[in-house]
Copies of this chain bind each other. A is one copy, B any other.
Amino acid sequence: MAKGKRATAMAENRAKLIRAARKAFATQGYADASMDELTAAVGLTRGALYHNFEDKKGLLWAVVEQIDGEMAERLRIAREQAPSLWLGLLAEGSAYIEMALDPEIQRIMLLDGPAVLGDPSKWPGENACLEITMRTIRALIEQGIVKPVDVEAAGRLLNGAALSAALWVAAADDPKSVLNKAVDAFRELASGLLRDAREPA
């Protein structure tokens, strides 16, 4: 049982470091986040960091993975609450846009993440958000609601549109009205994928 105790203590320290990193990376950005400060903030030193993670990048990997999972979960919920698959796709887009309003997500997942870790499409967890969107599109094609487009291409461009919309909204002086415009435009664009121009229920 003593071994279990040590294992959980280590897991707690890992969690502490990740939590501290989320804060530090979100508020100061990856480059300006000091590992000394970050670790000291949770009563540890850089020694713990380099023992639990590969390096500074490794810590960012862990943070990104955690946030990515949370985002995917929220997307899944948004889609499941929609009354139809097509509205589910639109709901995913809206949810994605709204998520990107979170400074943490914006900074870590949309700015520093890609810059430091490279293209998100090659992240492990295989970009859970994209996977979800693709699954929805694939189902819509099978139902004959969406044109037989390339699923990955459509998913990526749709997510890309949502992403830029999110950044726009986040940087706007008047986020509320801009959010409405962004969501509307997203619907119009998405409707280009429809087999019939008229949107289904």
Contact = CB atoms under 8 A, between A and B. Distances in A.
B119 A185 contact: no
A144 interface: no
A121 interface: yes
Identical copies in the complex:
2
Interface in A90-149: 111-112, 114-116, 118-119, 121-122, 147, 149
Q: Looking at A30, A114, A157, A184, which has the most chain B CB atoms within 10 Å of its CB?
A: A157
Nearest to A113: B115
Contacts of A159: 164
B31 A170 contact: no
Contact of A121 (B115, B167, B184, B189): B167
Contact of A157 (B30, B122, B149, B189): B189
Nearest to A155: B185
8 contacts: A30-B115, A112-B115, A119-B167, A121-B167, A149-B184, A153-B165, A153-B181, A157-B164
